[in-house]
Amino acid sequence: MCAGEGILPPGPLSGAVAGMVKFTTTLTPPERPFLSVSWNFKGVNIITSTSINITEPGHTNRISLDRTTGTLELRNLIMEDSGEYTVTIIPDGGLQEQGRITLNIYAPITGATIRSPAAVLIEDRSATNLTCEASGSISTRLWMKDGQPVETSDSISLSMDNRTVFIRPVRSSSHGTYQCQISNPVSSMTAAFNLTVNYGPHNMTITGPAAASTGHRVMLQCMAASVPLANFNWMFNGNVTNVNTSMFVIERFEGKNTGNYTCTARNTVTMKEKSTVLNLRASCSAPRWSFSVFVISTLA
C-alpha cells in the first residue's frame, strides 16, 4: 500500500529547451533521513538515492537531488525530456510515498513574422491574406488590429489554426497595423505588419463660413478620407480656378466672391473622385461656420 499520493503538485510542469526545471515535493525534511528516494522516467530509474546516488548515464551531470525533501532539479532540457515523472520515497519507519507529474518541454518562440503577398490593394476590388510564422513550439496565435482583437466578419476569416487571416475583399476598415502574438507556456513574441489599402475619397466636407463680411479674409478647407492622400481642385460658380490645394483663400472678401465653391478630390490609385459644394454669401454680421453636405461622386 502507498500513502502520500499527492506529494507532487498536480502539474503539468513546463520547461524551455536548454533551460531548467525543479520537481518540488510538498514534503518537509523528516527527523530521520529517508531510506530511499527514486525518480523514474519512462520506465527507467534516472536516479536512485540510498546510501549512495546511482544516476542513469543519460542524465549524468544534468540532475541534482535534494535528499531531504526528494526534490529533483533537471537541467539542459531537451524535447525528449517531455513525459511523466514518478517519485517514490521510503521513509525510515513509515509508509512508501509516491507522486507523479507530467513535464512538457517547449522550444522558445523566435523569428516571429507576418507574411503577405506583395500587391497594390484597392478597397472592394482586391483580396489578400496575412500569415503568421515563427520558429519554436507554437501553442497559440492571437491576432490584433490597431490594438483590438481581430473579429471575423463577412470579409474577414481565420484558418483553423489561426495561422492565416483572409481578407476578401479588402475595405477601408482593413487598412491599419496588424499584430500576431505567438506564444507557448515558456515564451511569446509579437510580429507586426502595416497593411495599406488604397481607398477613397470618402466623407468629403468643406469647412468655412456660410457668410462673410466685406473686407474680411475667408478660408475654405476641403477634406476627404483617402489613401493615398487625395489631389484637390476648386471651381467657383462652375468656372475652373487655379487653386489645386485643399485650402481656398479669399484674401479680401467682396460681393463678387459670393456663390458656389466646388471642391473635387481625386485618388490617383483608386481613380475615384468626389465633389462637394459650399455656398458662400455676403453678410453684414459676423460670419457663421458651416459644413457642406452636397456630395457628387464619380468614378473616372
How do strand 272-282 and strand 211-212 relate by DSSP bridges?
parallel
In the chain, the percentage of residues whose pLDDT exceeds 90 is 88
Q: Which of 55, 31, 48, 60 is nearest to 86 (CA)?
A: 48
**Where does 13-106 sit in CATH, by number?**
2.60.40.10
CATH architecture of 199-299: Sandwich (2.60)
Greater confidence (247 vs 93) lies with 247
Q: Sheet holding 247-250: strands in order across?
A: 247-250, 218-227, 199-209, 289-291
Rounded CA-CA distance 179/149 in Å is: 9
Domain(s) of CATH 2.60.40.10: residues in the chain: 13-106, 110-195, 199-299
What pLDDT, on a 0 to 100 scale, did the predictor assign at position 61?
92
How do strand 187-195 and strand 176-184 relate by DSSP bridges?
antiparallel
Q: Check the CA dihedral 43-49-50-55 and report its sign.
A: positive
- Using DSSP's 3-state secondary structure scheme, residue 81 falls into helix
- Please determine, for residue 234, whether its predicted confidence score (pLDDT) is greater than 50: yes
What pLDDT, on a 0 to 100 scale, did the predictor assign at position 6?
76
Greater confidence (300 vs 185) lies with 185
Single pTM value for the model: 0.81
Mean pLDDT of 231-260: 96
Bridge partners of 272?
299
| DSSP assignment of 44-66 | EEEEEESSSEEE-GGGTTTEEEE
Bridge partners of 13?
103
CB-CB contact of 230 with 259 (8 Å): no
Q: What is the mean pLDDT of the chain?
A: 92
- Please determine, for residue 94, whether its predicted confidence score (pLDDT) is greater than 90: no
Task: Round the CA-based radius of gyration of the chain to a whole number and report it.
Answer: 36
Query: Does domain 110-195 fall into CATH 2.60.40.10?
Result: yes
